[in-house]
Structures are given as C-alpha cells and as structure tokens.
C-alpha cells in the first residue's frame, strides 16, 4: 500500500530545524502524492522549565506560538482543495511538569487537529534534567552522569511509561512519538541487555490507553542509529496487538517529507 500521509513534520518555527517555509513542505508533499499532512511543531517548554540543551533550542519559543498557529491555519485554507493539513504539536512529556503541560493543552486544545507526545527530557540523578537526543557527545556525558548506558535506557523507558499513563486532560496527545528514540546513538553506545519485555509491557499500556504509535523514519538516516523508531520487530508486535500506526518522517526540512516511506509501506 502507498502511504498517503506524513504525520510528523516540523516547520521554520523549530529553532533546531531549517528555514524552509511551510509552503515548501506542502508543495513537496503534494509532489510526492500525499493527501494529508500533520504539522507537529515542538510545543513551547513550560515557562518554569529550563531547557537543558547546550543551545537552548529544543522547542518553539512561546512568543512564536500565535504566529505558528496562524501560519498553519492560513496554509490549511490556501491548500484545502489540494491536501488535508492538520495543525498540531509535538508535546514533551517532562516528569514533574504535568500540570504545566496540561494547562498548555487546555489552552490550545481547541485548535489542535493532531498531536504527538514524546520523551526527550529525563530527570537526572542530580535532580536536574537532560535531553537525550541533542548530540553524541552530550549523550556520552549523560551516560557518565547516570553511571551506565543501561541506566539511561532504564530511566527513558520508565519515563515513557509515565507519559503513556499520564493524565494530561482531555487534549492529551493521542500518539506516542519515536518510541525507541533512546537508540539514536546505539551504534556508538550499545546496551548489553534486552528491553524486549519492557517494550512489550509499554505496547500493552499503549493499547490499554488507546494511543497510536508514531512510525518514525528519521532514525534510518542518523549515522549512529540507522534504524526505524521503533524497530520493525516492535512495529510487528504493535500490529499484532491492534495498535494504530501513523507514519512520520520527522522532517525538519522540506526535502525529507515522506523519506523512507517505501521501507515502511508494508506495515500500512
């Protein structure tokens, strides 16, 4: 089956993305034969949360939020006869900031067509926070901080379970983003243990909570990963459990819209 939608796309409002205009993503999607797009920009981090990345560039700035919403609304109207466009967010689940996240979702829920809930930030042993996917060098520092790569993985999957089960109100995102993002640097920092049972448990919870799964092709193109998020084996497990899958390129530039979708088409 040919995939007709890309449900994980960023925009020029992303501080760690490209300056490609929104219309460039849309034109590329139409050119590739897509009939639906979800713009899922990184929602602003809670005001009281300090971005732990060296560049402080994890998410859209709060002051850009209104312009982002208006830009997608304008695009929806302009291209309505060509392609279905969803206004959305990729929302960070940050342990300890559930109240602030719920407030954001309650405030903007009425304009959200689609949304992803992802884990990028982990509570660290010193009670601070770390961002797991900033860079290979930063991940090495995080491993040192936690004591082992396995300890980082353990904390990631514990946090992901909390995200799945979290009560973020009626506008909680319905899709879990890049389930195995923790493997972004797996070719450089391998783990010695299997997380198969942990993943199976997580998939059961995702099914229980009636959430969808982001099938994210970005990992295939990361030098130290070269795998889907999640892996093909996990995708097959999810299908067997009846979990709804949504393909996402996680594009931060227009030329990567629907990238790798030929490799995952058999799952849809």
Residue 99 has pLDDT above 80, yes or no: yes
- Say if pTM beats, i.e. exceeds, 0.95: yes
Q: Which residues of 25-43 are buried (b: 16+ CB within 10 A; e: fewer)?
A: bbbbbeeeebeebbbbbbb
228: exposed, middle or buried (Cβ count in 10 Å: 0-12, 13-18, 19+): buried
The predicted model gives 256-264 an average pLDDT of 97
Residues 182 and 225 sit within 8 Å (Cβ to Cβ): no
Phi/psi of residue 39, each to 5°? -80, 120
Residue 133 has pLDDT above 80, yes or no: yes
Cα gap 163→22, rounded to integer Å? 29
pLDDT, tens digit (0-9, with 9 covering 90-100), for 221-241: 999 999 999 999 999 999 999
Mean residue pLDDT of the chain comes to 97
Q: Report CA torsion sign: 50, 94, 212, 168.
A: negative
pLDDT, tens digit (0-9, with 9 covering 90-100), for 17-75: 999 999 999 999 999 999 999 999 999 999 999 999 999 999 999 999 999 999 999 99
Residues 104 and 44 sit within 8 Å (Cβ to Cβ): yes
Residue 1 has pLDDT above 80, yes or no: no
pLDDT, tens digit (0-9, with 9 covering 90-100), for 192-204: 888 999 999 999 9
Residue whose entry in the numeric block shows the structure tokens 């995708």: 235
The predicted model gives 201-224 an average pLDDT of 98
Return the pLDDT at 127. Answer: 84
Which has the closest alpha carbon to 93: 157, 142, 136, 143? 157
Q: Which residues of 127-138 are buried (b: 16+ CB within 10 A; e: fewer)?
A: eebbbbbbeeeb
The predicted model gives 112-138 an average pLDDT of 97
Return the pLDDT at 192. Answer: 84
The predicted model gives 149-170 an average pLDDT of 98
User: Which domains, ranges and CATH numbers included, belong to the chain?
Assistant: 5-267 (3.20.20.140)
């Amino acid at each position: 089956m040919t995939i007709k939608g890309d449900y994980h796309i960023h925009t020029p409002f992303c501080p760690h993305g490209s300056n490609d205009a929104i219309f460039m993503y849309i034109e590329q999607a139409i050119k590739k034969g897509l009939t639906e797009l979800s713009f899922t920009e990184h929602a602003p981090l809670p005001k009281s949360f300090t971005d732990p990345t060296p560049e402080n560039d994890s998410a859209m700035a709060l002051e850009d939020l209104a312009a982002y919403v208006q830009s997608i609304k304008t695009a929806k109207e302009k291209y309505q006869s060509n392609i279905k466009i969803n206004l959305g967010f990729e929302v960070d689940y940050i342990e300890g900031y559930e109240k602030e996240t719920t407030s954001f979702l309650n405030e903007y829920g009425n304009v959200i067509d689609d949304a992803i809930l992802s884990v990028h930030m982990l509570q660290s042993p010193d009670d601070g926070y770390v961002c797991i996917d900033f860079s290979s060098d930063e991940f090495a520092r995080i491993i040192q901080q936690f004591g082992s790569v396995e300890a980082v993985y353990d904390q990631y999957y514990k946090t992901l379970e909390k995200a799945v089960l979290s009560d973020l109100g009626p506008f909680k995102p319905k899709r879990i983003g890049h389930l195995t993002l923790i493997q972004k640097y797996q070719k450089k920092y391998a783990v010695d243990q299997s997380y198969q049972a942990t993943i199976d448990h997580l998939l059961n919870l995702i099914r229980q909570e009636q959430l969808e799964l982001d099938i994210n092709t970005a990992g295939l193109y990361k030098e130290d990963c070269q795998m889907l998020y999640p892996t093909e084996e996990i995708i097959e497990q999810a299908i067997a459990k009846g979990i709804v899958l949504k393909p996402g390129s996680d594009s931060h530039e227009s030329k990567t819209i629907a990238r790798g979708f030929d490799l995952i088409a058999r799952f849809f």
